[in-house]
Amino acid sequence: MSPRTHLVIAGQVVAITGAARGIGKATAKALISKGAKVSIGDVDVALAQQTADELGAGTIALPLDVTDRASMDEFVAKTEEQLGPIDVFINNAGIMPTTWFLEEDEASIQRQFSINVMGPINGMRAVIPRMLERGRGHVINVASSAGKFPVPGIATYCGTKHAVVGITGAMRGELKDTPVDVSVVMPVIVRTELTDGVPDTRGVKALQPEDVADSIVEAIETRRYEVWCPKSTQTIYKTTALMPLRLNDAIAKVTKGDRLMLDALGAPERQKYLERISQDTPAMLGTGKED
């Protein structure tokens, strides 16, 4: 295997799931500005096409239900038919209902695991064999800082993001002697529809989608494995990991991190988001829409 070099994004083919809005859209825009050819996959095909038209530069929009392996396979195949072999694949689709865990219905739990966990699994299993065959590739899984820090009010979501962090880490080990890289992105609160109604917390400033997009671009260029957004979050994680549990609890109380999601439950903006994701499809398994 030849030594890996700094990746030049210009001319690369990038496929992004759930990119009709939010982080996915911002990432597509940032990559296009670097000269990449981008494919947007989303269950909301009309919005995806609108986004592709807005971004221009030959960006394509394709239908995608990340919970369905056949749909994922078709998304990968059609992307490569229209743009060429995929160099970078970004598993970005996700949803985040907020609720007391014991009050969460079974459908919500299953939909989160179907979208947030099976989505990246389906994406990796669809695209990595192609990357291995041609001897190059990079998969980026967008997780969350909730994959490292437990947050009351989004217990199931935390579980799904812990799963993504763990799966990505294991895949890094399995692929370490191959020319295919993996990265896991862990942002704090990002101001998209997914966090509508969620207040700010003390000590950690909420991000904009463009902030995460910039981190993803850097990860592609440097092939960094762990991508913390902001980078200071990694220091916080390492520090709190050494602290007694009671001290962590006290810090969470002072920063209001222990109430962040629970306090958002009654917010009108939050209710609007929850209503929308609950109506994405009549089926129980959700849609793969990124917000």
* CATH top class, domain 13-230+244-278: alpha beta
Which tokens in the block code for residue 201? Answer: 């917390």
Query: What residue type is assigned to position 220 of the chain?
Result: I
Residue 193's pLDDT is what? 61
Query: Three-state SS across 95-145?
Result: CCCCCCHHHCCHHHHHHHHHHHHHHHHHHHHHHHHHHHHHCCEEEEEECCH
Residue 151's pLDDT is what? 87
Q: Report the alpha-carbon distance of residue 230 to residue 242 in Å, rounded.
A: 20
Q: Could you tell me if 147 and 162 are in contact, meaning their C-beta atoms sit under 8 angstroms apart?
A: yes
Annotated active-site residue 237? The verdict is no
Which of 52, 31, 33 is closest to 41 using CA atoms? 52
Confidence tier at 280 by pLDDT (50, 70, 90): low
Q: What is the pTM of this model?
A: 0.85
Q: Looking at the predicted structure, is the pLDDT value of residue 103 above 90?
A: yes
* Catalytic annotation, pick one of 157, 225, 237, 273: 157
Residue pLDDT, tens place only, 140-167: 999 998 889 888 889 999 999 999 999 9
Confidence tier at 169 by pLDDT (50, 70, 90): very high
Residue pLDDT, tens place only, 121-141: 999 999 999 999 999 999 999
